Structure 1
């Protein structure tokens, strides 16, 4: 059974944009991880990943962890220290 969805014609609200803005550091950090992973995949065609490629991935993963922790601390006032 196929459900037809109504087209979205409304612009994002100020609250929607604020939520995206608040979540952006985590989104950006996750994009950095993805970029580092893609670099590792393509490095296989050129002799394998270098130590700098691996370091870039580790740093990107650390940024995701920090951004997720910061985001959780902002959304849960009990966790903010």
Structure 2
């Protein structure tokens, strides 16, 4: 039962981190949004870990996108 609860907690934290990332990246966040986000981050080390994980993944995807768009097109593509 404990492992199942841990998985649910991790899943919820991952979802919340993703929602925060999208909210702060794709909108014009207010000061209240930033304060609420900081409060969420400080609430648990797992929140900070998930936020950092999403940030790293976003950076990797951006670099991969940049590399693929800079690569010469294959013949016949």
| Same fold, judged at TM 0.5 (above) | no
TM-score, normalised to structure 1, is 0.41
Larger Rg: 1
